[in-house]
């Protein structure tokens, strides 16, 4: 099939998922056309089945806000016509679903049907999409999608609770390519971070309020009192500077490294002992699943779709949102005994394997084939 994928090209989970999906589809022989405003960060391979089309948004003195959605819909039309696409798969409803609807209508005027599938990822529903500035357009364009998928049962329910949805929402869980993590951990790298063989805790996110990053620092400060440990803070965002200040205030700054955005997450995860994700809400928690694939157990909040991947006492621990005492207690349980930590690491890996890319891609392909023209099958 010839598939157009629209996503955010950044480090965010929805863009990562969409890019990994496109790469896997290309490996299976589909022709994949990424339509984004920038080369997606994970699109780091050369494959003759992968095409990248940049959405250019011309500026004009009149525009305080250049009309990205118009440029996106026009680029979609251009790619559909020039590459004879069979369908569009848009990731993150805003503004991708409404732009896809616009492209679909333009194509209909030209006598050509082009279905579009919308995958809901999380904040497009739970934060941004619910805002009444966007809600009518989000509801409309979700309902106009030819198929709707959500990345967890929890997100499906959140969508039904917050919007009037007239079509079924199919749950297709996020996935991870476990073989990407089948590498030997770099001992020298571990030594640089933890020279005295301290435990390594890790957090990775976009450092937004919803991630409750302060809980990571407070928890780490408690862990440090009991077990020699280091903390790696991966990513960047509005909460980064205040968190650096908090680490100093709590007197743990010499044990905390803020390493910014990283492309080589595999190498970093492979030397880590515990992934900490205490978010207020997480529709799925792709970063946690990637940690599990690297045999890193997860200390997360009991929020959103996280319990669909993290099993308490088995693949890690689930604590109440904002309960730092509980997070600290569970972190200590995970890290204080070598045998127990080895058990958690193994279970985390087994759980990630259940969400392996090979198990999930066929679900998307099944949806595509429902809408694909006869000749593309
Ligand atoms: O976590 C974020 O804020 C980024 C956001 C995104 O759209 O990239 O992540 C959402 O989609 C990911 C991929 O499906 C999920 O794994 C994340 O849990 C979800 N984030 C939230 O729900 C807060």
- Strand, coil or helix: 230: strand
Give mean pLDDT, residues 29-56: 94
Tell me, yes or no, whether 61 and 91 share the same domain: yes
Tell me, yes or no, whether 168 and 26 share the same domain: yes
Tell me, yes or no, whether 194 and 151 share the same domain: no
Give mean pLDDT, residues 226-241: 97
d(CA 117, CA 139): 14
Tell me, yes or no, whether 21 and 10 share the same domain: yes
Tell me, yes or no, whether 74 and 196 share the same domain: no
Give mean pLDDT, residues 215-225: 98
Give mean pLDDT, residues 125-134: 84
Which residues, in sequence order, are CB contacts of 294 under 8 Å at separation 6+? 181, 266, 269, 270, 272
Nearest CA to ligand 1 atom 7: 14
Tell me, yes or no, whether 199 and 348 share the same domain: yes
CA of 206 to the centre of ligand 1 (A): 10
Q: How many residues does the chain have?
A: 377
SS (H, E, C) 122-165: CHHHHCCCCCCCCHHHHHHHHHHCCEEEECCHHHHHHHHHHCCC
Tell me, yes or no, whether 68 and 34 share the same domain: yes
337-359: per-residue pLDDT in tens? Answer: 999 999 999 999 999 999 999 99
Range of the domain at 142: 2-175+357-376
- Looking at residue 10, its pLDDT comes to 86
Q: Tell whether the model's pLDDT for residue 375 goes beyond 60.
A: no
- Residue 111's φ and ψ, nearest 5 degrees, are 80, 25
CATH number, residue 258: 3.40.50.2000
Q: Is the CB of 14 under 6 A from ligand 1?
A: yes
63-104: per-residue pLDDT in tens? Answer: 999 999 999 999 999 999 999 999 999 999 999 999 999 999
- pTM assigned to the model: 0.95
Lowest mean pLDDT among 126-140, 200-214, 232-246: 126-140
- Looking at residue 234, its pLDDT comes to 97
- Looking at residue 58, its pLDDT comes to 92
- Looking at residue 377, its pLDDT comes to 46
Nearest CA to ligand 1 atom 19: 122
d(CA 10, CA 138): 21
Nearest CA to ligand 1 atom 4: 12
168-194: per-residue pLDDT in tens? Answer: 999 999 999 999 999 888 889 899 999
Q: In the chain, how many domains are there?
A: 2
- Pick from 13, 91, 11, 15: which is nearest to 282 by CA? 13
Tell me, yes or no, whether 115 and 214 share the same domain: no
Q: Is the CB of 210 under 6 A from ligand 1?
A: yes
Q: Is the CB of 17 under 6 A from ligand 1?
A: yes
282-333: per-residue pLDDT in tens? Answer: 999 999 999 999 999 999 999 999 999 999 999 999 999 999 999 999 999 9
Tell me, yes or no, whether 31 and 169 share the same domain: yes
Tell me, yes or no, whether 155 and 264 share the same domain: no
Q: Is the CB of 89 under 6 A from ligand 1?
A: no
Percentage of the chain exceeding pLDDT 70: 99
- Looking at residue 276, its pLDDT comes to 98
Tell me, yes or no, whether 198 and 166 share the same domain: no
Tell me, yes or no, whether 33 and 161 share the same domain: yes
Q: Label residue 3 by pLDDT band (50, 70, 90).
A: very high
- Looking at residue 372, its pLDDT comes to 78
């Amino acid at each position: 099939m010839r598939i157009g994928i629209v996503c955010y090209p950044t480090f965010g989970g929805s863009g990562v998922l969409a890019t990994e999906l496109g790469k896997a589809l290309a490996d299976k022989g589909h022709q994949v056309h990424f339509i984004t405003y920038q080369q997606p960060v994970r699109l780091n391979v050369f494959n003759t089945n992968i095409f990248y089309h940049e959405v250019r948004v011309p500026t004009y003195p009149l525009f305080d806000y250049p009309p990205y959605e118009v440029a996106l819909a026009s680029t979609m039309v251009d790619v559909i016509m020039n590459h004879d696409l069979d369908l569009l798969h848009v990731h993150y409803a805003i503004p991708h679903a409404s732009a896809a609807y616009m492209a679909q209508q333009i194509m209909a005027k030209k006598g050509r049907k082009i279905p579009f599938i919308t995958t809901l990822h999380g904040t497009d529903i739970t934060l941004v999409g619910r805002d009444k500035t966007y809600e009518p357009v989000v509801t409309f364009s979700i309902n106009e999608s030819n198929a709707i998928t959500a990345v967890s049962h929890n997100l499906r329910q959140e969508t039904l609770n917050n919007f009037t949805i007239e079509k079924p929402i199919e749950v297709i869980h996020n996935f991870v390519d476990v073989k990407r993590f089948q590498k030997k951990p770099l001992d020298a790298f571990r030594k640089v971070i933890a020279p005295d063989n301290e435990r390594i805790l890790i957090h990775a996110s976009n450092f937004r309020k919803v991630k409750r990053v302060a809980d990571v620092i407070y928890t780490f400060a408690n862990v440090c009192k009991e077990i020699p440990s280091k903390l790696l803070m991966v990513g960047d965002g509005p909460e980064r500077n205040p968190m650096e200040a908090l680490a100093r205030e709590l007197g743990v700054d010499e044990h905390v490294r803020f390493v910014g955005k990283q492309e080589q997450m595999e190498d970093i995860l492979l030397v880590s002992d515990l992934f900490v994700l205490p978010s207020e809400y997480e529709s799925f928690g792709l970063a946690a699943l990637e940690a599990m694939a690297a045999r890193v157990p997860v200390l997360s909040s009991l929020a959103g779709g996280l319990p669909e991947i993290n099993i308490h006492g088995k693949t890690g621990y689930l604590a109440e949102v904002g309960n730092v005492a509980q997070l600290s207690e569970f972190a200590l349980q995970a890290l204080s005994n070598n045998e127990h930590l080895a058990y958690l690491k193994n279970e985390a890996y087994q759980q990630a394997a259940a969400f392996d890319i090979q198990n999930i891609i066929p679900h998307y392909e099944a949806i595509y084939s429902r809408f694909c023209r006869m000749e593309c099958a």
